[in-house]
Amino acid sequence: MHGPESDKATTSTAIDPALSLTHTLREAARHGERAVLLCSFQKEESVLLDELLRLDQGTGRAVKIVTIDTGVLFEETLATWRAFEERFGVKIEVQDASGAGGPWTGPEHCCSAAKVAALERALQDAEGWITGIRREQGPTRAHTELIERDERRGLYKYNPLAHWTEKDLWRRIHERDLPYNPLHDQGYESIGCAPCTQPGSGREGRWAGTDKTECGLHVEHVG
């Protein structure tokens, strides 16, 4: 398969968020079942799943949707998982990252290594990886492009929401009455595992009180 038309997607100085979302997902969907959407049941995935399944001629339905279950997800996240499957009519594949020696308890006993191992399993044989990364989320993500090449894994990384703001997301969610994680209404802008996540703006609530800002899945953006 030829590489995606990344130049058109990333060089414009005035990028329309809605058009960039659709264009980038269309590029990703060209990989069919060898494209993987990693779903964490946050507001970003509400928008991504809705748009993916609206693509022309059902092409988005071939994309594999995967979640990583650490065994310590919020009850609200589990409820959102069920709501996504019901609303979008999809079956979400699960990669297990639960703690073999008992539940993860936080930064001192964190899921990071198991989560990264689960990601590698999910991306095995994949040609494309669809993420919910946005530039607005923090300094480690500020230079995210719509389409990037992950040379280490030998695949394309698609970030359809790179140029979306928090306001853009909520406008789309309310316009289309999309299901979303109710923790967002309780001040959680970013949602991870229950032991490590507190309410906060941006990613401030993740691993609060520590220097940690990424779980390890997107370390290529650090720096």
Catalytic residue from among 39, 110, 193, 215: 215
Q: CB–CB of 158/126 below 8 Å?
A: no
CA dist 178 → 21, 48, 155, 174, 175 (Å) = 16, 11, 30, 7, 8
Instruction: Classify 43 as helix, strand or coil.
Output: helix
Q: Tell me what percent of the chain is helix, strand and coil, each rounded to the nearest 5.
A: 40, 15, 45
User: How far is the C-alpha of 191 from the C-alpha of 67, rounded, in Å?
Assistant: 14
Closest CA to 215 of 188, 197, 189: 197
User: How far is the C-alpha of 192 from the C-alpha of 213, rounded, in Å?
Assistant: 12
Q: Which two tokens stand for residue 177?
A: 């009455």
215 catalytic? Reply is yes
Terminal CA-CA length for the chain: 31
Q: CB–CB of 147/27 below 8 Å?
A: yes
Active site residues: 215
